[in-house]
Structure 1
């Protein structure tokens, strides 16, 4: 048994959808969730992209909004090879992953997962913010995401926002 838990917080809940903009409008207009910051992730905006443990590019449009201390993420795959596209093909739209905070730092957590034989499904580095999805589906019954933001990380200006500034 571990001395302390590997995870100590839920940082984000992510949903994969076919249309990011339509989903954001529904969340904001019908449920009051927002505002949303919308970003494009692709090989031109993200460095060190990894897919199934190998260097590879993929593209997505994502939207972020906070609900209390938890961030909601809506992701629309923009190609057919990301783990998001695979998920939609196999399961349809829905809950995709949960980002978890760790009791230790990112590097320590990654060593822990590697020692357990868990690999990287997908990842990359965006504005020095590293994100990694792990092969936790068999153990945890969901995909876990880990973050490694730089100290004092500030979110870049979004590509779009919803609702639009008035």
Structure 2
């Protein structure tokens, strides 16, 4: 048993959706949740893309909003190869992952590797490395963790809804 908890805080709830923009409008217009910052993740914006340890290029459109101090993420796969596309095909829209803060990114990855639990997907975007860890059998959900550069700043989104 670890001396300290592996995860220290819930950072994000991630859902996979068929249409990011339509879902953003529903959250904002019908539930008052927002504003939403919308981003494009693809080979021109993300480096070091991997799926199951192998270099693979994938794409998605995503939207981020804060709900009570927890970031909500809506992800629309733009291909048929990412773990988001696989999830959508197998499960339909719904809860995909929970992103957790960790005391130490490398130790958390090692913790998973020592247990034979794979890294499902990852990449580096604007100085933030994101890694999806397969904890579905143990925790019932995919865990995502981040490694941020000290100077990480959120870039300007490609769109915001509702428009300020």
Q: TM-score, normalised by structure 2?
A: 0.97
Query: In 2, distance between residues paired with 1:138 and 1:98?
Result: 14
Q: Give the distance between the partners of 2:37 and 2:148, measured in 1 at CA.
A: 17
* Counterpart Cα distance in 1 of 2:151 and 2:53: 28
Mapped pair 1:128 → 2:104: no
Q: How does 1:8-87 map to 2 (within 5 A)?
A: 8-87=8-87
Deviations 1:38-88 (A, max 9, x none): 000001110000012111000000000011221000000000111011001
Give the C-alpha shift of residue 150 in structure 1.
1.4
| C-alpha separation in 1, matches of 2:153 and 2:35 | 17
Q: How many residues align?
A: 164
Query: 1:152: how far off?
Result: 3.9
- Answering whether residue 118 of structure 2 is matched by residue 116 of structure 1, we say no
Residue 112 (structure 1) shift = 1.3
Structure-2 separation of matches of 1:163 and 1:154: 22
Deviating more after overlay: 34-43 vs 1-10: 1-10
- Return the alpha-carbon distance in structure 2 between the equivalents of residues 106 and 99 of structure 1: 12
Which runs of at least 4 in structure 1 moved beyond 3 Å after TM superposition?
none
Helix, strand or coil at the partner of 2:64: strand
**Equivalents in 2 of 1:27, 1:150: separation in Å?**
31
Q: CA deviation at 1:19?
A: 0.2
Aligned equivalent of 2:106 = 107
Q: How big is each residue's C-alpha offset from its partner over 1:7-33, in whole Å with a ceiling of 9 and x where there is no partner? A: 111000011000000000000111111
Please name the residue that 2:163 is paired with. Answer: 164
RMSD: 0.9
5+ residue gaps, structure 2, are: none
Q: CA deviation at 1:2?
A: 2.1
- Unaligned runs of at least 5 residues, structure 1: none
Aligned to 2:144: 145
1:108 & 1:52 partners in 2: Cα distance? 19
